[in-house]
Structure 1
Amino acid sequence: MERAPRLQDVAAAAGVSRQTVSNVINSPGLVREDTRERVSRAIADLGYRPHAAARSLRTRRSSTIAMHLDPYAGGISGVVLDRFVHALTDLAGERGMRVLLYTGRDHDEEIARLAELLDGGEADATVITGTFHGDPRTRWLAARRTPFVAFGRPWGEDDHHSWVDVDGAAGTRKATAWALDAAGPRVAFLGWPAGSGTGDDRELGWRSALPSQAGLRLVSEESVGDARAVVADVLASGAAIDALVCASDSLAIGAHLAAVAAGRADLPIVGFDNTPAAEAIGLSSVEQLPEQVASAALDLLLDPSGSATAPDGARHVLVEPQLVLR
């Protein structure tokens, strides 16, 4: 079995000492730019990955990112967060960092558990999800100068921290533009009740793509059954619909079942999340690209040397999703 490259292998390939390689990894500011670039190329060519445990002894840091694991809620669209966690763990490993998952039944318990990990030196930084206006976690983390980034916008004025999110409006705008061209002018939208930042953003994309502000807006809870009932009632009423853009794949699958039952199996329906369930049925959907979200989150969280740094101003990244047609 071929052994993994070691620090001395990088030093030999770059023509420098082991200490210089160590400085490039842990204190790059001490190394001249040309030497730093030469060592970085050797690290990339050899596929060298610093040993996290050894680095923690040298730097007094754990090289660990803590992330709260949300309770299992079932449903169809939860696979997006699963993909994000998997990608974050994989990409963090490539940068010599580890991801530590922890649980908490509410935000207070989440903060208490995270405080234990940070104060005990088990984690240096954190990634949080499900942020909202007035989120106590972001204020607590900012107050103690803990490096963190959020997957999701705060949807309010307290935009004082770094975050990465998916441009939901861009996704539904693409879906609506395609539906208008492929099916006709009467493109309806099936979304959640008003007041959800994510849901309102996706509705905005649909509205912005319509030739006028007029358009049939349907409302359903995040449930296949509820969506099926709502769309079944609308189709039974004789409402003219050429296509339907939905805020999630769960809603899209419910709408599809209603359309099939009403003899409208050919009704173009576009979901959001591009889940395996939508793919299995053959529904078009908006792909959120959680792997790109994870990569952007790490870019915001880690400095060029690969270490988590305390927040220095808020930075934001919006990842543009892709429309997957089937």
Structure 2
Amino acid sequence: MHMTAGSHGPRLIPGPSVTISDVAEAAGVSRQTVSNVLNAPDRVRAETRERVNRAVSDLGYHPNRAARSLRASSPRMVGCRILPVHAETVASIQDRFLHALAEAGQACDHHVLLFTAPDADEETERCTALWRAGAVSAVVLYDVTPHDPRPRQLEAAGVPFAAFGRTATGAAGYSWADVDNTAGTASAVDHLVAAGHRRIGFLGWPEGSSVGDSRAHGWLAAMDRHGLLAQSHRLDVRGDDTMSSGTRLMVELLDRPGPPTAVVAATDALGVGALHAVRHHGLRPGEDVAVVGFDDTPAAAAVGLSSVRQPIEEVGRLIMAELLRLVGRNADEDVDEAAESLHRLLVPELVVRASSAPPRSAPGG
């Protein structure tokens, strides 16, 4: 590109490699604004559109037709492994997530392709095969564990992906959105303390799960912050994430000397099981013993269980938007490649119901 003099001042002569960055610089706007003018002009103010269009004309910019052709032939599908549902679970978190992901994709003409896999290694193999075969544009990782091998494997294979959750190390290198599980159980403890409880138990999973460990840490940190850990240190019990496990663990706590007046459960399945145990002991949930779950499933609402609600819908929207950005970066030069990867930690919200009313006895009683 070079300039030549003319009767109306300098005129830009297009060179062989005018880029969207050249247009953005000439118009004094971002690359994304130029992309919006070219692809979605209704999003841009008239004055800005005129300035960008003038720069496009002056520079002789022509969008990359090959890239646009590639984008047009994209499968417009994102892949996600669907997990099996345990017979005793009441959780519907992946269902909510997939629904949110599908809704966000539908708004931009993308859809979700579900598949099954017996383990993590098989999942990454299928993700890679689907992507290389052109069946999907990108994939989603769900239920990421602290030392999950999947992000590293997909990065090595060059597969575009975003994750719900993050690993203990290396998370800065890929896109993810996650929920602050530690803050969730801490808010449950704060709520119970404010209601007058002092002996607050915890029903959790065995150690080794990113989500389970984070929720246990939230209970522990909040109890310590309130100065209640010493009188509750024996009230932390763990088991499988099932209703029967929640019942068994709660019975164990209620049969101990100095039983808890309240418990925080790591999931609604454990929480619903705890409610069964409370009633079996002739006690009234919320009045004699308070119970708070986690995930705010439909079952929690049905039985009046207070529960911590994850912003799953927002996670789905964020991840779909990030997948589209990653796919666009690979297929269309109009996408701003300098944009930072998605790294978002969202705070959950406690939904209070009848199961966590103030205790009948005096605090510490």
TM-score in same-fold range (> 0.5): yes
1:136-188 Cα deviation digits (max 9, x unpaired): 3212211233221111121x223232211111111111111000011322221
- Contact 1:71–1:105 (CA under 8 A) maintained in structure 2: no
Instruction: State the one-letter code of the partner of 1:97.
Output: H
Query: For the residues of structure 1 that align with 2:305 and 2:181, how far apart are their CA atoms?
Result: 18
Spell out the pairing of 1:178-217 with structure 2 (5 A cutoff). 178-210=191-223, 211-212=226-227, 213-214=229-230, 215=232, 216-217=235-236
Q: For structure 1, which segment, 99-108 or 128-137, has the greater mean C-alpha deviation from structure 2 after superposition?
A: 128-137
Q: Please, which moves more after superposition, 129-138 or 286-295?
A: 129-138
Structure 2 unmatched runs, 5+: 1-30, 46-67, 332-336, 354-365
Tell me the secondary structure at the aligned position of residue 130 of structure 1.
Answer: coil
User: Structure 2 CA distance, aligned partners of 1:58 and 1:316?
Assistant: 25
In structure 2, the partner of 1:157 is 169
Contact 1:301 1:309 in 2 (8 A): no
2:328 is the counterpart of 1:307: yes
Q: Report what 1:228 is aligned to.
A: 247
Alignment check: 8 A CA contact 1:63 1:307 kept: no
Asked if the contact 2:144–2:210 (Cα under 8 Å) also holds between the matched residues in 1, the reply is no
Q: What is residue 320 of structure 1 aligned with on the other side?
A: 347
Return 5+ residue gaps in structure 1 as ranges.
Answer: 1-27, 43-54
CA contact (8 A) 1:69 1:103 kept: yes
Equivalent of 1:167, from 172, 180, 183?
180
**In angstroms, what is the RMSD of aligned CA positions?**
2.7
**1:241-300 deviation line (CA, Å, top 9, x unaligned):** 221111001111111111111122131100001111111111100111211110121233
- Give the Å deviation of 1:220: 2.2
- Residue matched to 2:127: 114
Deviation at 1:41, TM superposition (A): 6.4
TM-score normalized by structure 2? 0.71
1:56-89 deviation line (CA, Å, top 9, x unaligned): 7763322221111222333334311101001101
- Aligned CA distance change for structure 1 residues 282 and 134 (closer, same or farther; 3 Å): closer
* Per-residue deviation, residues 73-126 of structure 1 (Å, max 9, x unmatched): 333343111010011011111022121112222223222322221111111111
- The answer to whether the 8 A contact 2:128-2:159 is kept is no
Range moving further from structure 2, 194-203 or 70-79? 70-79
Which aligned runs of 4 or more in structure 1 are off by greater than 6 angstroms?
A: 32-37, 310-313
* Matched residue type, 1:63: R
CA distance in 2, matches of 1:119, 1:35: 30
2:315 to 278, 287, 293: 293
Q: 1:243 corresponds to which residue? A: 262
Task: Report the counterpart of residue 283 of structure 1 in structure 2.
Answer: 305
Q: In 2, distance between residues paired with 1:189 and 1:58?
A: 50
Structure 1 residues 117 and 231, CA gap change in structure 2 (3 angstroms): same
Bigger CA radius of gyration: 2
Matched length: 285
CA distance 1:315–1:30, change in 2 (3 Å)? closer
